[in-house]
Chains A and B, each alone.
Chain A
Amino acid sequence: MSALDNGLPAVRDMLASRFSPSHRLFFLLLSFFKPEELLFVDIETKSLFIETSIIEIGAGYFEGNKFTVKQFTALTDSSEYLVLEEFAKLLPGKKAFVTFNGRTFDIPFIDGRMAYYGGPDTPAEITSMHNFDILHFSRCCYKREFDSYSLKAMEAQVLGKERDGDIDGAEVHIYFENFLATQNPEYIEPIVYHNREDVFAMVQIMERLLDRWIK
């Protein structure tokens, strides 16, 4: 396979000409990456629109067998930029994102907010970095098995796990507005918890996909 000699981009282009991006073969491109090169990303925002700001970025990564999640919360409009800067510091050495609907939402959103501030300088355009979007693989791998493929539904269906006391993603902005109005940190904690659980869930669902598709 000559494309393999040219590395990932050539293989990716070759696959893209024949298969949908949610195809198993795209998932198998994981073998091109070491675990340490993956960055698991999930964000919480004020709205679905890029004109509004990011509240929270959760980013998880492997160091050997250890998995760390770092979370950055923008409690004020002033701190969104700092959140983006901290996130950018995690990028060196990372070669692919793992996200849940992040090809459409999370990564372009972060990219958009970085561009909004005219920076910060990232090593590369993050939208062109490889992105393993677990949502699409889930739909393909468990085709016609479930009614819903949301992250929470997948967690329940595949991992058999129900989150205790978690808020819904759609409620994040309400909690944040309450926080802004009261400055009471009790409204921020559920957002941070929700975001962290989302990052963990991505790792675990990815492992299930690996089990089902590879092992």
Chain B
Amino acid sequence: MDKIENLIESIKSEKFYSGQIISVLKLPKSIAHYSQTPELSPSIMRYLKSQGITSLYTHQARAVSLIRQGKNVIITTPTASGKTLGFNIPVLERIEKEKTASALYIYPAKALSNDQLNILNEMEMNSGLDFECGIYDGDTDSQVKKTLREKANIIITNPYELHQVLPYHPRWRRFYTNLKYVVIDEAHRYKGVFGSNIAFLLRRLKRVLKLYGAAPQFIASTASIANPVEFMEKLTGEKFEAVGENGAPSGEKHLALWDPSLFPGRSVNTQTKDILLHSAKNNFQTLAFVSSRRLSELIRKWANQQDSSVEILSYRAGYSPEMRRDIEAKLKNGSIKGVVSTNALELGIDIGKLDVIIISGYPGTISSFWQQAGRAGRKMQDSAIFYLPQEDALQKYILKHSDILTSQNFENAIISLDNPNIIAGHVLCAISEAMAEGTKIFDDIETGPFVETLISGGMVVKTPRGLVYSGAKRPQDVVALDDTGGGNIKIKVDGKILEEISVTRAYDEAHKGAVHLFNGDTYVISELNLDEGYALAAKEDVDHYTETMKDEDVKILSVKKTKQHANFTLNFGNVCVTEFYKGYRTKKSGKVISTDPLALPPLSFNTEALWITLDGSINRAVKKSPSLDFDGAIHAAEHALIALSPLWAMCDRNDIGGRSYPVYEDGNSTIFIYDGYNGGIGIADKLFDIFSSLVSNTIALVTGCGCENGCPYCVYSPKCGNGNNPIDKQGAVVILKELL
């Protein structure tokens, strides 16, 4: 028995163990696949030699070759497989040949920018190449910014900064004129609302680059997703080729599936601490991923209190860069045995590989799961991954159906190019950045009606030369990259504006009594004034959070797609959702500690929805059995369908809303599943396409759950405005089976 198997066996004799390991799956090791290394310049060879690299892995060589051919490339190999090298080589080669060539690297997070800068500096030092690079973001000194614009070959920035600096393109004249590559690393982060905004930001960038005669190649890397090419083509409006076959080696991995509910009374978090401490004490370097910053602190505290002989640290956003660098270095050199981290360490930060990874709480997507699990496995050595689900239908479903994980059926990364609010904001930004000759602002998007609206609103003016922005303010300040609508509510702390959010978000996060999260800090809202457009907040360190309770009403506006089935019709189209906010719950560690009423006017928004119109025969099938309640059944079926939707559409349960009607206004029983964002974000559209798979998995979820009448692991929704009442689990099974 090898060491990792010993570790798993030794856990079984501990006091905290009562049979929670329901199975251990062995994921076989894979050997390295090298490729005939393409011809590289002596300086690049010098760098590779300094790193002990004699050949490139197959995926790296293929990336180099495709990029050299001028293709736009998306690299989708796992964490720590050397994606970065795959694109840095061709970029630096080009700079070596063409001293003036430049490249723009876009990173979603600051820590990653630092990492890339370190890598590039090291490449420069060890290759003998001479080029300029630096980070250009909100923290960069203005003199340094100027130097970078005037001299740098490579500028590393983030989308927020790019959004702000695009209008100042004349200052970037040299850099843009010579721009050969745009590198989008960790591209899977650009999904949903944020990603849809980034898609337009990149189109704005391309539009500005045209002024300088530049049409750079796009290079991207991403965690594993189902649709890399489709996703990147939507994100950038360019044709892409994918590099997916991983040539990097890995040792055998043991995936231990741990069911915390088998030790009643001991919380998931305590059990996480148990495994972490046991593993670290036995000299296995261990990293536990948890779902919140608070938990990362708490579990570390518990571990330290229980046993001070082994040092356990926590890692999360909000720590100073120095602290984070220190922990990263300690992980890399092996001097620290245990770390509890949020998903901040899931991203491609270089910390080397570890012996044991604990995934405490499903990170939301299969892709993220393997990003986290990918941290395990030092140099072909065996490693272990423990998966502990939190109390949630999807999380438990995955524990019981681990083939979802092992078959690596990754989700689709979804963005929308059709959201009218997002388009309108970016069209306005674009026109403020460069005059438009006609109403077609972006090559592949219909923008005419939006421009016409802006003209009639006086924001854009027709002049003999073209369409010109006429406002007296910066539209970039109003268009938020992580929202679908303009910010209309200013959150103020001590008279200063903390941030501006949409009314929809304000209803959820900035009502009186709400706990609002910003940049890792908690703020408690004391007043929301919708007429004046502000909310007053005070910074308070609280350990509870709030959730609104609402009823919804859905009206169909238009039908875009329809599929007729034997006893139901599946539809996709536009709907208007009206939400009635009834109150809010205050929760602590998942438990409700109080419920308070809210007095807010109802809120309506137009979005996209999938709806299932049930034939009368389904209703009769349920009613055949006197013990079943149709109203509860349709409600339970809606909850379960929504719970598993994130398996296809890379999104959070909170990104989707639902409403079931035993009798809808047309007289039919109907279940609606809609995008929770003004204008829609493409989730319901994707669900329409994969509906039958969604239904069969949902049946497996509900029938496979051991409970009798429904529980949070199957048909209870944590978001339900009616407290999961009425709910009929067995009736839901009857309905779902009819939908197959």
Pick the interface stretch among B372-380, B457-465, B480-488: B457-465
Stretch of B166-174, B655-663, B707-715 with 4 or more beta carbons under 8 angstroms from chain A? B166-174
B471 and A77 form a contact (CB under 8 A): no
User: Is A3 an interface residue, CB under 8 A from the partner?
Assistant: no
Q: What are the residues of chain B within 8 A of A49 when measuring CB–CB?
A: 167, 473-474
Determine whether the beta carbon of B171 is less than 8 Å from that of A108: yes
Asked if A112 and B170 sit within 8 Å, CB to CB, the answer is yes
User: Is the pair A117, B464 in contact by a Cβ cutoff of 8 Å?
Assistant: no
Q: Given A78-B464, A116-B435, does the pair A52, B472 have CB atoms closer than 8 Å? A: yes
- Cβ contacts under 8 Å, B465 to chain A: 78, 81, 117
Given the complex, which residues of B lie within 8 Å of A127, measured CB to CB? 170-171
Q: Which residues of chain B are within 8 angstroms of A53 by Cβ–Cβ distance? A: 468-470
Within 8 Å CB of B435, what residues of A? 116-118
B171 surroundings in chain A (CB, below 8 A):
108, 112, 127
Chain A residue contacts of B463, Cβ below 8 A = 76-78, 81
In the complex, whether A68 has a CB less than 8 A from a CB of chain B is no
A51 sits at the interface (CB 8 A): yes
Given A78-B461, A115-B211, the answer on whether A51 and B469 have CB atoms closer than 8 Å is yes
> CA of A118 to CA of B212 in the docked complex: distance in angstroms?
9
Q: Report the Cα distance A50→B471, complex, angstroms.
A: 11
Chain B residues within 8 Å of A125, by CB: 173
**B433 in the interface, Cβ–Cβ < 8 Å?**
yes
CB distance A77 to B167 under 8 Å?
no
Q: Are B472 and A46 in contact (CB under 8 A)?
A: yes
Rounded to whole angstroms, the CA-CA distance of A47 and B170 in the bound complex is 18
Instruction: State whether the Cβ of B432 lies closer than 8 Å to any Cβ in chain A.
Output: yes
List A contacts of B170 (CB < 8 A): 108, 111-112, 114-115, 127
Is A116 within 8 A of B473, CB to CB?
no
Across the interface, which residues of A come within 8 angstroms of B90, CB to CB? none
Give chain A residues whose Cβ lies under 8 Å from the Cβ of B470: 53, 77
Interface residues in A147-179 by Cβ distance below 8 A to B read: 173, 177
**Chain A binding surface, main DSSP class:** helix
Asked if A106 is at the interface of the complex by the 8 Å CB criterion, the answer is: no
Give the residues from 449 to 504 in chain B that come closer than 8 angstroms, CB to CB, to chain A: 461, 463-466, 468-476
The 8 A CB mask of A28-50 against B (1 = contact, 0 = none) is 00000000000000000011011
Most buried by B among A47, A50, A125: A50
- Does B434 lie at the interface of the complex (its beta carbon under 8 Å from any beta carbon of A)? yes
Q: What distance in Å separates the Cβ of A129 from its nearest Cβ neighbour in chain B?
A: 14
CB proximity of A35 to chain B, nearest CB, Å:
29
User: From residue B524, how far is it (CB to closest CB) to chain A in Å?
Assistant: 34
Query: Which residues 103-123 in A have Cβ within 8 Å of B in the complex?
Result: 108, 111-112, 114-118
A177 contacts which of B169, B432, B472 (Cβ < 8 Å)? B472
Q: What does the 1/0 interface line of A80-97 toward B look like (CB < 8 Å)?
A: 110000000000000000
Q: How far is the CA of A3 from the CA of B359 in the complex (A)?
A: 66
Chain B residues within an 8 Å CB radius of A46? 472
- The contact string, 1 if C-beta is below 8 Å from chain A, for chain B 132-171, is 0000000000000000000000000000000000011111
Contacts A51-B475, A52-B473, A80-B468 known; A118 to B211 CB distance under 8 Å? yes
- Taking CB atoms, residues of chain B closer than 8 Å to A108 are 170-171
Question: For chain B residues 36-67, which have a beta carbon within 8 Å of chain A?
Answer: none
CB of B169, distance to nearest CB on chain A (Å): 6
By a CB distance below 8 angstroms, the chain B residues around A81 are: 463, 465
CA distance A125 to B171 in the complex (A): 11
Per CB-CB distance, the 4 closest pairs between chain A and chain B, nearest first, are A78-B463, A51-B432, A115-B170, A77-B461
Cβ contacts A to B, 21 pairs, < 8 Å = A46-B472, A47-B473, A47-B474, A50-B167, A50-B168, A51-B433, A51-B474, A51-B476, A52-B469, A52-B471, A52-B472, A52-B473, A77-B470, A78-B461, A78-B464, A114-B170, A115-B169, A116-B433, A117-B465, A118-B211, A173-B472
